[in-house]
Amino acid sequence: MPKKITETTPANRQAVLEERRKLKMARSAHAYVRGNTLQFYEWLKAESGARLPQGPPVWICGDCHVGNLGPVANSEGKVEIEIRDLDQTVIGNPAHDLIRLGLSLATAARGSDLPGVTTSLMMEQMVKGYKSALISRKVKKAAKDSQKLRPIEIVLQQSTKREWRHLAQERIENVKPTIPLGERFWALSPEEKEEIARLFDTTEARKLITSLKHRDDDAKVRVLDAAYWMKGCSSLGRLRYAVLLGVGAKKEQQYCLVDIKEAVRAAAPMAKTADMPRDYAKRVVTGACNLSPFLGERMLATKFLSRPVVLRELMPQDLKLEIDQLTREEAVAAASYLAGVVGKAHARQMDAATRKRWSTELNRNRSKSLDAPGWMWRSVVELIADHETAYLEHCRRYAMA
């Protein structure tokens, strides 16, 4: 029997992270879908993926599940629901984002014990919501949908009311200028501490931190504390750090929390003619600027111990959508609305003629008995079956281990 790890150190991080990832993915089928992006990409490479409509090559999320959407604030403090995780962003087929979101929503519906007909309705409304935003470049919400979108509205309302203390209590469980080591935050090596100090002494990093509207451009930036951050699921195992900064004169000092995240090669399939930055971190930031401008303007691509990383100050308004329990009406309305968010992100990269052609192509293989295109329905059904089998096998292996 392997020796149980009682303390996490820089030397044994990878072993601990792998165990945490397995545990997270075993919690529910929805968690497994969110954490196992590779299975989705393998499906895309197979014959089934080849039958999808080929949309215009634009920046796509590449991992467009529900948890990767949510309220995001810009440097001026304005809040919108956007794509909030761009690790897998590439120039690719926009249909991939639509199907990935459909799989995530369908899995959430099954977790809410909703009947199969609800999944069918969700797929229909997804395509309608996406196409509407694609043409108008706006996410439309009918007055009658306000109550149905209550789970999303609640998160959005919470987001606009949040302050630094909410972020501190949620992320570091502490409003004091320290990051408490323990379950989520682990001690740094001397080399990592030196690198963080060097990084926030650069002009680029300091400009990023002082770019928010309420901060002076020449405000002093100090590193108050830092730790390795055990966060996420599919990204576990990469470099990830939380850095607590003090900004401004000590008597009027403001605190901010910065997320440093390693950028790696994208597993998402890209267009053959794609012209993207070769640097992984620059790819992530460029994709974010195109898909989620509120987020992109707050990100910086740089190096950490010679590895590409993305810096992002965490704002109190940034929240992820946690959609685990939904009624039938809420599930259908959420499917239309969130697909509209993705449609708007894609549409801003297309001219009017391209948007019209892509909207027409989305209707391919529409049957008389199903409003959702056949390619969309078949894809989601196949993926649900594949992931359900893999999830159960994952749970069996994890339990036996």
pLDDT in tens, 79-89: 889 999 999 99
Confidence of residue 55 (pLDDT cuts 50, 70, 90): very high
Higher pLDDT, 331 or 170: 331
Rounded to an integer, the average pLDDT of 358-375 is: 76
Count CB-CB contacts under 10 A for residue 115.
11
Rg (CA), the chain: 21
Asked whether residue 325 carries a pLDDT value surpassing 60, the answer given is: yes
Res. 35: pLDDT tops 50? yes
Residue 379 scores a pLDDT above 60: yes
For CA atoms 310, 314, 317, 322, give the dihedral sign. Answer: positive
Between 150-164, 310-324, 350-364, 365-379, the lowest mean confidence (pLDDT) is in: 150-164
Contact by Cβ (8 Å): 305, 92: no
Binned at pLDDT 50, 70 and 90, residue 275 comes out as very high
Consecutive H or E run containing 302:
strand 299-304
Q: Which residues pair with 81 in a beta bridge?
A: 71
CB-based burial label for 91 (10 Å; 0-12, 13-18, 19+): buried
- pLDDT given at position 351: 96
| Calpha distance 309→206 (Å, rounded) | 16
Give me the pLDDT at residue 253, please: 84
Structural domain boundaries in the chain: 19-161+320-400, 170-314
Give the pLDDT score at 2: 44
Of 316, 31, 71, 19, nearest in space to 171 by CA: 316
| Confidence (pLDDT) at 4 | 45
Q: How far apart are the first and last CA of the chain?
A: 10
Interacting residues of 316 by C-beta distance below 8 A, sequence separation 6+: 73, 162, 163, 164, 166, 167
Which band of pLDDT confidence, cut at 50, 70 and 90, is reported for residue 349? Answer: very high
Q: How far is CA 303 from CA 88, 195, 196, in A?
A: 18, 10, 11
Residue 180 phi/psi, 5-degree rounding, is: -75, 125
Rounded distance between C-alpha atoms, residue 223 and residue 256, angstroms: 10
Q: Which residues contact 256 (CB under 8 A, 6 or more apart)?
A: 164, 209, 244, 245, 247, 313, 314
Beta bridge partners, 229, equal 185
What pLDDT does residue 292 have?
96
Q: Beta-carbon neighbour count of residue 286 at 10 Å?
A: 20
Burial of 117 per CB tally in 10 Å (0-12, 13-18, 19+): exposed
Q: What is the mean pLDDT of the chain?
A: 85
Helices (H), 112-189: 116-136, 150-161, 164-171
Residue written as tokens 């309220």? Answer: 71
Q: What percent of the chain has pLDDT over 90?
A: 43
Give the span between the Cα atoms of 85 and 348, in whole angstroms.
18
Q: Find residue 307's DSSP bridge partners.
A: 304
Distance, CA of 13 to chain centre: 23
pLDDT (0 to 100) of residue 316: 80
Tell me: pLDDT of 101 over 50. Answer: yes
Taking a C-beta distance cutoff of 8 angstroms, is the pair 294, 74 a contact? yes
Longest dimension (CA), the chain: 69
- pLDDT tens sequence across 187-241: 999 999 999 999 999 999 999 998 876 688 888 999 999 999 987 655 566 899 9
Give the closest residue to 373 by CA, choosing from 90, 46, 137, 55. Answer: 55
Among 124-133, 275-284, 331-340, the range with the most confident prediction by mean pLDDT is: 275-284
Look at residue 348 in the predicted model and tell me its pLDDT: 95
Contact 105, 330 (CB under 8 A): no
CA distances 240 to 126, 200, 235, 246, 247, Å, are 34, 16, 9, 20, 22
Can you tell me the distance from the alpha carbon of 373 to that of 51, in angstroms, rounded to the nearest whole number? 12
In this structure, what token pair is assigned to residue 379? Answer: 């894809």
Provide the pLDDT for residue 301: 97
Contact 218, 210 (CB under 8 A): yes
Q: Is the pLDDT of residue 28 over 90?
A: no
Instruction: Name residue 222's amino acid.
Output: R
Q: Would you place residue 99 in the very low, low, confident or very high pLDDT band (cuts 50, 70, 90)?
A: very high
State the pLDDT at residue 285: 98
Query: CA-CA distance, 176 to 66, in Å (whole number)?
Result: 32
